[in-house]
Structure 1
């Protein structure tokens, strides 16, 4: 059996105390949020591909933009 080794990296922020840890926690939350957003985009893209959605042409985008400017987004 191989030995298991755990690594821990201490930074200058770790040495400064709770405020630094709180900033580190916010960084971890931001990373979690970014991973969640990426996962949602991945799922939406897979559904769009499976259902055969097509990307509009430039002319279709221009037409839709004109309608949105006249009527609004919602």
Structure 2
């Protein structure tokens, strides 16, 4: 969470998603683990596009459809 900026400071309860947290909620769900060569974007702010390479990665790969797996926190 060191690079999550103000979002992290405002919502400390999000530590449940931190890598290495003993509750294990940051782990991928069985069957949804990324495979070798998959692009994984770590969302650090409320928007999945802000502060990530998501938009650029989608454009470079000419993506026409996208499946997003995750949770909503707010």
Is the structural similarity TM-score above 0.5? Answer: no
TM-score, scaled to structure 1: 0.24
Structure of greater relative contact order (alpha carbons < 8 Å, 6+ residues apart): 2
- Say which one has the larger Rg: 1
Q: TM-score, normalised on structure 2?
A: 0.24
